[in-house]
Amino acid sequence: MDAPLIRARGVSRVYRLGGGDVHALRGVDLDIGRGEYCAIMGASGSGKSTFMNLLGALDRPTSGELVIDGEVLQGKRPDELARFRNRSVGFVFQQFNLLPRTTALDNVALPLLYRGWSLKKRRERAEACLRMVGLGERMDHHPSQLSGGQQQRVAIARALSGEPSILLADEPTGALDSQTSEDVMDIFDRLNSDGITLIIVTHEADVGARARRRITFRDGLIVEDAS
C-alpha cells in the first residue's frame, strides 16, 4: 500500500499567550491519501485553521509527527519550510491576494520566478493554468478589471502553477455570491477529478458537502471523519 500523502500522529499545537497556554490541537491522528478531496470543517476556535497552517507549512507542531509528501516538517528551518511550501503546496485564500498592478498572467507566473524558471517557461505554464480555469481570454487583465469570481480563478491558477502535491483552499468561497461560489466549486470538483489532492477549509456546510471526505474539528480534536 502506498504511503499517505499526509500523515499526522499525535500532532499538538500549543500557543503560549500571556500567562497561560492555549491548546489549539490536542494529539491529532490523521492520514490523507494522494488524490483525495477533503473538507476540513468546524466552528471558530475548533482547531481547523491551526491544522491548515500546519498542512501549509506556515507553522510547525509543538509535538507529534507530521509528514507531508515524504517530508518531516518538525525541526525544519524557516527557509526549508519556505522551499517546501513553494514546491509542494498551492494556496487559495478567501481574499484572493493578487497583486493589483500586475496582470493575471504575471500574477500566476510569479511563484515560478522563485524556482528559477526562465521567463518563457513561466509564461507558458501560467497561460496553461489560466486556460485550465477558463480565463484564456483574460490573461492581460488586471485584478480591478476582473469580477470576484474571475479573481478567484486567477488565484486558483496561481496555486496550480507549480504543480503542487496539495491544493489547500482556505474559505475559498467566503467572499463570493452563491452562483459564483458554485462556479468556483465546479472548478475544484473538476481539478480533483483530474487527480489533484484538494483540501478545503470551510465552515460552510454546502461547500463541505462537495468534498468526498469531511473531517470535523472541535476543541482541537477530530470528532468526525466521514466519507
Query: Tell me: the pLDDT tens digits for 144-196?
Result: 999 999 999 999 999 999 999 999 999 999 889 999 999 999 999 999 999 99
Alpha-carbon distance of 211 to 189, in angstroms, equals: 8
- Please report whether residue 161 resides in a domain: yes
Task: Give the sign of the dihedral formed by CA 106, CA 82, CA 93, CA 125.
Answer: positive
- Please report whether residue 30 resides in a domain: no
* Predicted structure pTM score: 0.92
Count of C-beta atoms within a 10 Å radius of residue 58:
15
pLDDT at residue 1 in the model:
58
- Please report whether residue 222 resides in a domain: yes
- Please report whether residue 112 resides in a domain: yes
Contact yes or no for 114/86 (Cβ under 8 A): yes
Is the pLDDT score of 7 beyond 80?
yes
- Please report whether residue 67 resides in a domain: no
Q: Give helix 119-132 / helix 104-113 axis angle, nearest 10°.
A: 130
Which residues, 6 or more positions from 211, have their beta carbon under 8 angstroms from its beta carbon?
A: 37, 38, 39, 198, 200
Q: What H or E segment, with its residue span, contains residue 15?
A: strand 6-17
Q: What H or E segment, with its residue span, contains residue 155?
A: helix 148-160
Count how many domains the chain has. Answer: 1
| Average pLDDT score over residue span 61-77 | 90
Alpha-carbon distance of 140 to 161, in angstroms, equals: 17
Task: For residue 86, give the CATH number of its domain.
Answer: 3.40.50.300
Q: Which domain holds residue 194?
A: 35-58+79-226
Is the pLDDT score of 2 beyond 80?
no
Closest to 55 in 3D by CA, of 43, 66, 41, 70:
66
- Please report whether residue 49 resides in a domain: yes
- Please report whether residue 11 resides in a domain: no
pLDDT digits (tens, 9 = 90+) for 82-117: 889 988 999 999 889 999 999 999 999 998 998 889
- Please report whether residue 88 resides in a domain: yes
Q: What's the whole-number average pLDDT of the chain?
A: 93
Residue identified by cell 480565463 is: 135
